[in-house]
């Protein structure tokens, strides 16, 4: 397939990735995975809420991106498609504002400070990004809260299951968030943002990511009694580890925005596959 034939496909992929539709699908997918892990009925309203609120959160900094920050294909696409981002973000904001009233007050009270932290993280006046190593930790913490702890607020699960499951989710997401910082190492260094890659370098950062995945795997072993679930999550960890091993600041944007983020959806797909395989297996 020549360049001319590939260009429409690239345009579609750029739109899906850089408008943050893909990462929002990832957030909804791993939220649905949470319900599957505890054998609870999937709350589709909440999954939709996570999708719309993720679009709002991730597009929020894009709307204020300046021409001085054209250092990647993503940023060039954003600057050329500000109207498209507005068209996507406004309905997402409306949907988020409506859907939140379908949840109990307890949920709103827990969600509000995490939402404030998420938005404050991008504000220059708070300067949160200047705190060493905070960048990846905030991302992993917020994702763990909204995709694991909050969906289970009304589910009757034990504190042990809640704690170990939440910890395993955190370390899986932390490995991805830290690996993502490898992409931004030069940008963060110039902005004096002290991420792990800036402090320790790319190779040591990848070793730390693999350690996080190892901790994730240990927690899965001890937190689940279901062998098919353990195998599914361990397989996703192995695939993620293999991808992280190839991470580099020289990798193209698609390596991170598509493949690295795609590990989140892959984990959900693998889990769904083993669950349905178990349901339809021969006696």
Determine which of 70-74, 174-178, 232-236, 261-265 has the lowest per-residue pLDDT on average: 70-74
Predicted pLDDT at 265: 95
User: What does the pLDDT average to over 124-150?
Assistant: 80
Top pLDDT among 158 and 278 is at 158
Share the mean pLDDT of the chain: 86
Number of residues that make up the chain: 283
Q: For residue 196, give Cα distances in angstroms to 45, 162, 193, 248.
A: 36, 28, 10, 14
Q: What is the rounded distance in angstroms from the CA atom of residue 283 to the CA atom of residue 268?
A: 25
pLDDT tens readout for residues 15-26: 999 999 999 999
Average pLDDT in the 211-230 region? 88
135: confidence class by pLDDT, cuts 50, 70, 90 = confident
8 A C-beta contact, residue 62 and residue 87: no
Average of pLDDT values for 190-207?
85
pLDDT score for 209: 95
Indicate the domain borders of the chain. Answer: 3-279
Give the pLDDT band (50/70/90) at residue 283.
very low
CA distances, 145 to each of 16, 67, 177 (Å) = 25, 34, 15
Give every CB contact of residue 153 below 8 A, 6+ residues apart in sequence: 106, 107, 110
Q: Is the pLDDT of residue 132 over 70?
A: no
244 close to 210: Cβ distance less than 8 angstroms: yes
């Amino acid at each position: 397939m020549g360049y001319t034939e590939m260009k429409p496909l690239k345009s579609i992929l750029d739109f899906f990735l850089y408008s943050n539709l893909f990462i929002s699908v990832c957030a909804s997918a791993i939220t649905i995975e949470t319900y599957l892990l505890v054998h609870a009925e999937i709350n589709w309203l909440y999954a939709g809420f996570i999708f719309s609120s993720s679009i709002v959160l991730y597009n929020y900094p894009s709307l204020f991106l300046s021409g001085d920050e054209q250092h990647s294909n993503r940023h060039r696409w954003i600057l050329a498609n500000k109207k498209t981002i507005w068209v996507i973000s406004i309905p997402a904001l409306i949907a988020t504002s409506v859907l939140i009233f379908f949840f109990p007050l307890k949920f709103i009270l827990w969600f509000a400070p995490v939402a404030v932290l998420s938005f404050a993280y991008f504000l220059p006046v708070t300067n949160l990004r200047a705190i060493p190593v905070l960048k990846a930790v905030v991302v992993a913490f917020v994702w763990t809260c909204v995709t694991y702890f909050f969906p289970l607020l009304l589910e009757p699960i034990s504190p042990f299951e809640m704690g170990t499951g939440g910890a395993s989710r955190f370390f899986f997401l932390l490995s991805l968030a830290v690996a993502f910082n490898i992409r931004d190492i030069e940008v963060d260094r110039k902005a004096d943002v002290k991420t792990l890659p800036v402090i320790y370098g790319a190779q040591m950062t990848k070793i730390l990511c693999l350690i996080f995945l190892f901790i994730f795997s240990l927690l899965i072993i001890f937190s689940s009694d279901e062998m098919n679930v353990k195998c599914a999550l361990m397989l996703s960890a192995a695939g993620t580890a293999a991808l992280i091993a190839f991470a580099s600041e020289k990798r193209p944007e698609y390596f991170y925005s598509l493949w690295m983020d795609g590990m989140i959806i892959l984990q959900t797909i693998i889990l769904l596959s083993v669950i349905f395989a178990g349901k339809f297996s021969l006696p």
